[in-house]
A and B are shown apart, each in its own frame.
Chain A
Amino acid sequence: MSEQHHDHGHDGHEHSELGEMDLRVRALESVLTQKGYIDPAALDVLIDTYQTRIGPRNGARVVARAWVDQEFHDWLLRDATAAIASLGYTGRQGEHMVAVENTAEQHHMVVCTLCSCYPWPVLGLPPTWYKSAPYRSRAVKDPRGVLADFGTTLPESTRIRVWDSTAEVRYLVIPQRPEGTEGMGEEELAALVTRDSMIGTRRVEAPATPGSAA
């Protein structure tokens, strides 16, 4: 690992200038295509996959199923990889899944302090904040401060449990099902579940039902 290729001269001046980054990526794609390392059509499929097929709606369906189906719920907590795979969500960055469930007593939050480990098959690509230094540095020491950045306040009596994803195990938070959703079906429930609630930085809000006393 000690080949001396540090500083190839062009790194220094190509900082965050948007046009330069575009050119740099285009040049790289062109060289890799000419060399036969990549199929340019595969790039389009990869991008389309993460823009339209694999994202937090997958995880929302997992959560909604767990909320309505006790057997699935128990399976998810016992063997998340298998339970999630049964809904068709498998693979890259979700090979080994663990689900953790929020209650009034305990709130779970997930971080990767070392990089950006994240359960892609159920949540898609991580948001910028998840990969950022503020989140990675503070989540393990000041999670209540981080939650406040999201407008989330938990009672002091609620224990916070932070999972630092340091190996290839990926965590999915099952948020608490809000009150007032007893009559809702699985699809309606899935629509309430947000990405941030499955990372643990927000709670799932009760639906604003006209006429309800909540």
Chain B
Amino acid sequence: MESALLVHRLHFAFTITYHYLFPQLTMGLAPLIVYFKTKALRTGEDRYNKAARFWAKIFGINFVLGVVTGIPMEFQFGTNWSHFSQFAGGVIGQTLAMEGVFAFFLESAFLGLFLFGEKRLSPKMHWFSAFMVFAGSWLSGYFIVATDAWMQHPVGYERLANGSFQLTSFWALLLNPWALWQYAHNMSGAVITGTFVMTAIGAYYLLSKKHMEQARLYIRTGVVAGLIFAVIQLFPTGDGQGQMLAKKQPATLAAMEGLYTTTEGAPIHIMGQPDVANQKIDNPLSVPKMLSFLTYKRWNAEVKGMDAFPKEDLPDNIPLLYYSYHIMVGLGTIFIAVMLLSAFLLSKKKLYDAKWMMWILMLSAPFPYIANTAGWMTAEIGRQPWLVYGLLRTKDGYSTLVSAGNGWFTLLGFMGMYTILSILFLFLVYRQIASGPEAAETHTKEAAVAV
């Protein structure tokens, strides 16, 4: 049955990784669109409305893909993780149902108004519908993060004799400290994706000498917001998340950092490969004592290594966890550098003419996607071998009656379906970019029939 467990894990991992490509952009773009609408309302300048309209198109395409790939996620709790649902549904079902009732209805209703209602609504009401789309997508994100946070750090529950979890405190579940840090870190990551995509398209237009005025607006907005959030991503949110990890999931921290033995004044490995067989890091490039300082704010603090925990309680794929974590942190650092440099050039009024920087900004767009994906892989592979940390093991949660063969069949089905989705998605986005912000107005007539 081991292979069935693996298939079910791959099934969920594949579908959720693919799904999250879309919400991270919609959640990241939503506040930027609200910014454009606010400026339009305040200044009355049409370029802000034009920008909002263009980005609403990109938002709309991503939103539909997010919904379409999101529905399978809810299904899979039952279809592929039946025993987990049976035990934990009473608790995490709360946040999942709240997402449906509070966030989805809000988001879908106001998105319809925002996309199709500009002429029917007053400017203020149209601003309001943009704001509500933003509120809905961020609320939706919170309920999902709170659900994951309960699996990472279970609170407000009791366990019955039959093994099922029952909720005992609604507010403990909703205000889980893990959820607050993870949410801040995750949303800031989403905004980074939004800003990098925005600057990339702006840079593309500038390089191709099209839509220059709009392009400058996208770049300026993207760079300023991008710098702010790239810094927030590191401190305080990344730092806060790391300290929480040290307290609640020390085994995960040790595995992420590749710390095999408990050490005082533990170093941080910037590079190197985990050597699982020999329990060490090969060819490390390390900063001494840094890990102790970052975790406990003392240079000589003791950090627990993987040797301090029973093997069956350690994450089951240490190299993948280690690489995911290091890719996330490495990219995060590069993002700060790129945005800092761009902001410096912007302040010197040299950014728009710096062709080389435009190329960097344009080609940077995929990397926040990689960083966000790697971040989630760090969180979820780091939680292993638990489904509910310390309480329910992953191997006790999957649907035992669904055979490995059925699992493979549907996993391959999803891979095929998502390949088609990807092709269609790229085609639509490409066409939107090619037709540009000037055309956004006329195209809506055609697009107005579907969200």
Q: Say whether A associates with B.
A: no
- Interface set of B (CB-CB < 8 Å, partner A): none
- Interface set of A (CB-CB < 8 Å, partner B): none
